[in-house]
Structure 1
Amino acid sequence: MNKFHLRGFLLAVIIISAGIVFNPYSAAAEEFHWGFKKATNGVPPDAGAAFNEVLDKYGAIYKGKPDEKVVYLTFDNGYEAGYTEPILDTLKAENVPATFFLTGHYLTSATPILKRMVKDGHTIGNHSYDHPNMANLSEKGMEDEWSRFDKKLKELTGIERTVYVRPPKGTFSEKLLSFGNELGYRHIFWSIAFVDWHKDKPRGKDYAYGELMKQLHPGAVILMHTVSSDNAEALLSFIQDAKKEGYLFKSLDDLVMEYEGIESVY
């Protein structure tokens, strides 16, 4: 187990031991759809009191500290459209870590790219195996989605399990967050996003770059989709210009340790 994956394993232990394990039978069954008012002028977005309360209760995270210029890149991958490797090339050239939230389909259909993600030192997140509405599932169904993904990931890469999960389409419930905690998972949402998931409707590099820079804020957890040529083309300019504005790019492990008040030893 290398240093990178050891950190992920230790964070799984933290999730269970840090007091965010709850009785799933007491969790509300209400379905939520993640959303927030977009950031402007460098001011972080606020998802509102209701969302903030339920996320804090279960240790779910959507942004970092509002007074530190740090960015956390995450990508959702349901299928491969030919743009992930250029994205990986950019991340490698700029020495920037990222988390790739994958589906079971992606694991099996784009295995060589998955293995490159791991080799390059990026984190693999669990976006479920079949991309269902996770809030509608029974606990057995939830566990099956996450565990099938983890089993296939281990088979293909040797990684023991994932720590970070993201519900398809941002649809969740208290029960989902609670039961995920019980199984050692932490939900990661996002504070920057834009319409970028239509492979056949490119809007150009300037569109993606403009959305990223317009919404950029301290502690940003950025969600992008790798099916977008716009993102692949804009990523280098965005990273370089964000760095010029004083932003650092860190991993979700760093974000979680910040959330838990744990000082990194690496």
Structure 2
Amino acid sequence: MLLFYFGNRMQDETKFKNKDETVKENVSKNQNENQVFKTNPQERNSERKNDEISKKYSSNYEIDRAKGKTVVLTFDAGADGSRLPDILNILSENKVRATFFLTGPFCEKYPSLVRKITEYGFEVGNHSYAHNDMTKMSNEAIKEDILRAQDIIIKTTGQDPRPWFRPPYGARNDRVRGVLKSLGYETVYWTIDSLDWEDNMTVEMEKNRIYNNLVDGSIILLHIGSKTTPIILSEMIKYFKSKNYRVTDLSGALR
């Protein structure tokens, strides 16, 4: 039985990554700094405060795969929304679910198109506002960016994107995941990156990349603006079904 609840969310059929991807800077420099005895009380207090912040905002869990005979389709928003209607129609015609990760500017640029996502009954997630590398941002800057995007997504779609958040560029570490958790979000990564955004991507290259890496519970990263994905999407869905995969969204796979 799969268990999933918010707050202290529990899942017994979800595979999480448990790893520290914090960027390591100059190790020898850090070692030398650690050898310096801090005698300044203000400096010691500052260190304690930083330690408390690190402990408060820290999480090493993220969703990168679902268990069972499922395939999870996820679409990230980019600069181009012109192919979104085709994607929505294909998903609906094939009677499958998908999760759409939206940025604030995408919602602002294509409000009527974005509304169709929820009108078709699909779920949305948060993909940030400025699409910056959050490992290089302060906790407060991360919060401000996420909440700004969240507000726009809710106003545009009428749907709260929580609990799903996909970090821009996939850049994340324990601190970023911790800040996301404090805002009610789960960090969603992927099992297969289709690379469908690359200029030299062809339909055959994309199909081979996805089919050759397909495993039970695959979360597939696709892009709304891809020139190749809409062409092969229906064929891919039929292929997944022929292999007895249930094609669904994050909620369908994890709740």
Amino acid at match of 1:83: R
* Preserved contact between residue 135 and residue 173 of structure 2 (Cα < 8 Å): yes
Identity %: 26
Q: Which residue, 50, 59, 62 being the options, matches 1:60?
A: 62
**1:141-156 superposed matches below 5 A:** 141-156=141-156
Task: Give 1:203 deviation, angstroms.
Answer: 3.4
Task: Give 1:161 deviation, angstroms.
Answer: 4.6
Using CA pairs under 8 Å that are at least 6 residues apart, name the structure with larger relative contact order, 1 or 2. Answer: 1
Query: What RMSD in Å do the two structures reach over aligned CA positions?
Result: 2.1
Separation in 1 of the partners of 2:89 and 2:232?
Answer: 13
Task: Map Cα deviations across residues 1-59 of structure 1 (whole Å, 9 max, x no partner).
Answer: xxxxxxxxxx7xx3422379xxxxxxx89239xxxxxxxxxxxxxxxxxxxxxxxx544
**Does the C-alpha gap of structure 1 residues 160 and 213 become closer, same or farther in structure 2, counting only changes over 3 Å?**
closer
**1:9-158 superposed matches below 5 A:** 14-18=5-9, 30-31=22-23, 58-65=60-67, 68-158=68-158
Task: Give 1:155 deviation, angstroms.
Answer: 1.9
Task: Give 1:154 deviation, angstroms.
Answer: 2.0
SS at match of 1:61: strand
Separation in 1 of the partners of 2:181 and 2:78?
Answer: 24
Separation in 2 of the partners of 1:146 and 1:162?
Answer: 11
Separation in 1 of the partners of 2:10 and 2:243?
Answer: 37
* Preserved contact between residue 78 and residue 105 of structure 1 (Cα < 8 Å): no
Separation in 2 of the partners of 1:161 and 1:216?
Answer: 27
2:245 is aligned with 1:254: no
2:197 is aligned with 1:205: no
**Does the C-alpha gap of structure 1 residues 84 and 149 become closer, same or farther in structure 2, counting only changes over 3 Å?**
same
Amino acid at match of 2:83: Y
2:218 — aligned with what? 220
2:228 — aligned with what? 230
**Does the C-alpha gap of structure 1 residues 227 and 161 become closer, same or farther in structure 2, counting only changes over 3 Å?**
closer
SS at match of 1:196: coil
Separation in 1 of the partners of 2:141 and 2:186?
Answer: 17
Separation in 2 of the partners of 1:58 and 1:15?
Answer: 17
SS at match of 1:63: strand
Task: Map Cα deviations across residues 50-82 of structure 1 (whole Å, 9 max, x no partner).
Answer: xxxxxxx544110112xx221000011122252
* Preserved contact between residue 76 and residue 223 of structure 2 (Cα < 8 Å): yes
Structure 1 residues without counterparts, runs of 5 or longer: 1-10, 21-27, 33-56, 258-266
Query: What is the TM-score of this pair, normalised by structure 2?
Result: 0.76
SS at match of 1:124: strand
**Does the C-alpha gap of structure 1 residues 194 and 158 become closer, same or farther in structure 2, counting only changes over 3 Å?**
closer
State the number of aligned residues: 210
Task: Give 1:96 deviation, angstroms.
Answer: 0.9
**Does the C-alpha gap of structure 1 residues 19 and 183 become closer, same or farther in structure 2, counting only changes over 3 Å?**
farther
**Does the C-alpha gap of structure 1 residues 161 and 188 become closer, same or farther in structure 2, counting only changes over 3 Å?**
closer
**Does the C-alpha gap of structure 1 residues 255 and 59 become closer, same or farther in structure 2, counting only changes over 3 Å?**
farther
SS at match of 1:97: coil
Task: Give 1:223 deviation, angstroms.
Answer: 0.3
Query: What is the TM-score of this pair, normalised by structure 1?
Result: 0.73
Task: Map Cα deviations across residues 195-245 of structure 1 (whole Å, 9 max, x no partner).
Answer: 2213xx253322222222122111000001122111110111010011011
SS at match of 1:17: coil
* Preserved contact between residue 207 and residue 230 of structure 1 (Cα < 8 Å): no
Separation in 2 of the partners of 1:126 and 1:246?
Answer: 30
